[in-house]
Structure 1
Amino acid sequence: MDFSSLHQFLSTTVAELAIKVLASLAFWIIGRWLIGRVVGMIQATMGRNHVDPTLTKYLGNIAAVALNIALVLGILGYFGIQTTSFAALLAGAGVAIGAAWSGMLGNFAAGAFMLVLRPFKVGDFVSVGGVVGTVRELGLFATTIVTPDNVMTLVGNGKIFGDTMQNFSALPLRRVERTAQLAVGVDPLDAIARLKAAVAAIPNVSAEMPPEVSLLDMNLNGCVIAVRPYCANADYWQVYFDTNEAIVRTAQQAGWPAPTPSQITRIVNA
Structure 2
Amino acid sequence: MEFLQKLDVEALIEFASTTGLQFLINLVAAAAIFIIGRWVAKAVHRVVVKGMQRADVEPLLVKFLGNILYALLLTFVILAAISRIGIQTASLIAVIGAAGLAVGLALQGSLANFAAGVMVIIFRPYRIGDYVEAGGVSGTVEDVQIISTELSTPDNRKIIVPNGQMMSGAVVNYSAHATRRVDLTVGVGYDDDIDTVRRVLESVVADDPRVLSEPAPNIRMNAMGDSSITWIVRPWVQASDYWDVYWEMTEEIKRRFDREGISIPFPQRDVHLYHHAKDEPQANA
Corresponding residue of 1:125: 131
Corresponding residue of 1:159: 165
Note the C-alpha offset of 1:237: 0.9
Match of 2:149 among 143, 147, 154: 143
Single out whichever of 102-111 and 44-53 deviates more from structure 2: 44-53
SS of equivalent to 2:259? helix
- Map 1:10-89 to 2 at 5 A: 10-89=16-95
Whichever residue aligns with residue 175 of structure 1, its letter is R
Is the 8 Å Cα contact of residues 206 and 230 (structure 1) preserved in structure 2?
A: yes
TM-score (norm 2): 0.86
Match of 1:263 among 270, 277, 280: 270
Note the C-alpha offset of 1:248: 0.7
TM-score (norm 1): 0.91
SS of equivalent to 1:155? strand
Residue by residue over 1:61-101, the C-alpha shift from the partner in whole angstroms, topping out at 9 and shown as x without a partner, is 22322332332222222222222321111101211222122
**Structure 1 runs, 4 residues or longer, greater than 6 Å off:** none
Is the 8 Å Cα contact of residues 33 and 80 (structure 2) preserved in structure 1?
A: no
What is the root-mean-square deviation in Å for CA atoms of aligned residues?
A: 2.0
> What is the percentage of aligned positions where both structures have the same residue?
34
Note the C-alpha offset of 1:191: 0.5
Structure 1: how far apart are the matches of 2:24 and 2:44? 30
Corresponding residue of 2:240: 234
Is the 8 Å Cα contact of residues 149 and 163 (structure 2) preserved in structure 1?
A: yes
Match of 1:244 among 246, 250, 259: 250
SS of equivalent to 1:215? strand
Corresponding residue of 2:178: 172
Single out whichever of 49-58 and 19-28 deviates more from structure 2: 49-58
Q: Please say if 1:182 is aligned against 2:188.
A: yes
Is the 8 Å Cα contact of residues 199 and 246 (structure 1) preserved in structure 2?
A: no
Report the count of equivalent residues. Answer: 270
Is the 8 Å Cα contact of residues 122 and 136 (structure 1) preserved in structure 2?
A: yes
Whichever residue aligns with residue 34 of structure 1, its letter is V
Single out whichever of 56-65 and 164-173 deviates more from structure 2: 56-65
Note the C-alpha offset of 1:114: 1.9
Match of 1:113 among 109, 119, 143: 119
Whichever residue aligns with residue 100 of structure 2, its letter is G
SS of equivalent to 2:88? coil
Note the C-alpha offset of 1:264: 4.7
Whichever residue aligns with residue 237 of structure 1, its letter is W
Whichever residue aligns with residue 178 of structure 1, its letter is L
Match of 1:254 among 260, 270, 275: 260
Q: Please say if 1:192 is aligned against 2:192.
A: no
Structure 2: how far apart are the matches of 1:101 and 1:48? 36
Note the C-alpha offset of 1:20: 1.4
Gaps of 5+ in 1: none
Structure 1: how far apart are the matches of 2:19 and 2:197? 103
* Larger CA Rg, structure 1 vs 2: 2
Corresponding residue of 1:208: 214
Gaps of 5+ in 2: 279-285
Whichever residue aligns with residue 252 of structure 1, its letter is D
